[in-house]
Amino acid sequence: MRLLTHNMLSSNIKGVSNGFPLRLDVENSVSKEVEFNPDFLRNMFSKIDWKALVDAARSMGYAELPEEAPDSSMLDSDEFLKKFHHALLELHLDEGALICPETGRRFPVNKA
């Protein structure tokens, strides 16, 4: 599962008022190359919850993203976009679980 997807998921358990973001329990992560497209990234940037992405990337062992939500001028920087690209599309949670931040309920993730 890509971090783009993680960024779009929230826990929908009855009674949970804020099920986003889900915590990651990473047993195995992989990186798969995806063709770089700056326009796609600029489009996605506004849809992404930045902090959730930074934290998720960090739990996958990738700490290159700036902690602070970058302002839009960063979207002209290839260096920034490449990092964003890698975190958003190339890192995969292969095996592990997503955990509801309120109830602690685990949603297993496996590659198949």
Partner 1 sequence: MWGVDIEPKTEEADAGKPFLPSIRTKEENQQNSRPVSYKMSARSAQILLVSSHPEVYEPCDDSFALVDALLADRNNLLEHRPTLCLELGCGSGYVITSLAIMLGQESAGVSYFATDINPHAVRVTKETLEAHGVHAEVLLMDIVSGLERRLAGMVDVMVVNPPYVPTPEDEVGRDGIASAWAGGENGRSVIDRMLPIADKLLSERGWLYMVTLAANNPSQICRMMKEKGYASRIIVQRSTEEESLHVIKFWRDAELQVETKAQTTENRTAVPMEYLLSQIPRLAFWRSGSRSS
Terminal-residue alpha carbon distance, the chain = 10
Task: Tell me if 79 contacts partner 1 by CB under 8 A.
Answer: no
Q: Which residues contact 37 (CB under 8 A, 6 or more apart)?
A: none
Closest CA to 65 of 82, 48, 78: 82
Considering the rule CB under 8 A, would residue 23 count as an interface residue with partner 1? no
Q: Which of 104, 76, 88 is nearest to 4 (CA)?
A: 88
72 in contact with partner 1 (CB under 8 A): no
Per CB under 8 A, 108 contacts partner 1: yes
Options 23, 58, 82, 105; binder of partner 1; rule CB under 8 A: 105
Q: Give min distance, CB of 59 to partner 1, in A.
A: 18
If the CB atoms of residues 58 and 105 are measured against partner 1, the closer one turns out to be: 105
Contact flag: residue 31 with partner 1 (CB under 8 A) = no
